[in-house]
Amino acid sequence: MRPPFVLVDSAGDIEVFDAVQDLEQYVEPTDVQQNEYVAYDSEGRLLNLRCKEVVSGRLPRIRVPVVQVVGAEQEPAHRDDLRRSLLRFLSQLGDDETVCEQLSLLDLLSRVYRAVRGHRTNGFCAE
């Protein structure tokens, strides 16, 4: 799995994460159970979002659901799906579709990253 990680919700909105742990903490277990999201790594590998229970506390011990991200494939077989999601999202933000369609997956991801995370210089940047 290669960062950044892209989370697409059922409405087509996108969030981008630098670390798997950040993605796991952001997503609610109930949303995962209701299949509200699709997640990808930066190369178009599909990621599985799973819920698991962990035991928390001393006494009494309680089971708490948490989200776990697991790679679903070795090769990036979902590049086209990721690309379509990125293009749709950028179009919703008002970017020129004709221009965006000519961009590489890496350049699209860089544009989306800047759109959702701001112009940070310490994060992912394809340019």
At 127 the pLDDT is 43
Please provide the DSSP assignment of 8-62 as one string: EETTS-EEEESSHHHHHHHS-HHHHHTT-EEEE-TTS-EEEEEEEEEEESSSS-E
With cut-offs at 50, 70 and 90, classify the pLDDT of residue 41: very high
Q: How confident is the model at residue 126 (pLDDT cuts 50, 70, 90)?
A: very low
Other beta carbons within 10 angstroms of residue 38's beta carbon come to 17
Instruction: Give the global pTM.
Output: 0.83
For residue 14, the tally of other CB atoms under 10 A from its CB is 22
Cis peptide, bond prior to residue 4, ω within 30 of zero = yes
Q: How far apart are CA 28 and CA 20, in angstroms?
A: 14
Tell me the three state secondary structure of residue 106.
Answer: helix
Average model confidence (pLDDT) across the chain: 88
